Amino acid sequence: GQQVMQIPQYQHVQEGEDFTTYCNSSTTLSNIQWYKQRPGGHPVFLIQLVKSGEVKKQKRLTFQFGEAKKNSSLHITATQTTDVGTYFCAGRDTDKLIFGTGTRLQVFP
Partner 1 sequence: NAGVTQTPKFQVLKTGQSMTLQCAQDMNHEYMSWYRQDPGMGLRLIHYSVGAGITDQGEVPNGYNVSRSTTEDFPLRLLSAAPSQTSVYFCASSYSAGNSPLHFGNGTRLTVT
The residues binding partner 1 (CB under 8 A) are 1, 6, 9, 30-31, 33, 35, 41-45, 48, 88, 90, 92-102
- By beta-carbon proximity to partner 1, the closer residue of 40 and 109 is 40
Residue 90 bridge partners (DSSP): 33, 99
For the CB of residue 17, give the shortest distance to partner 1 in the complex, in Å. Answer: 24
For the CB of residue 63, give the shortest distance to partner 1 in the complex, in Å. Answer: 14
| Torsion sign across C-alpha atoms 43, 47, 48, 52 | negative
User: Phi and psi of 73, rounded to 5°?
Assistant: -145, 155
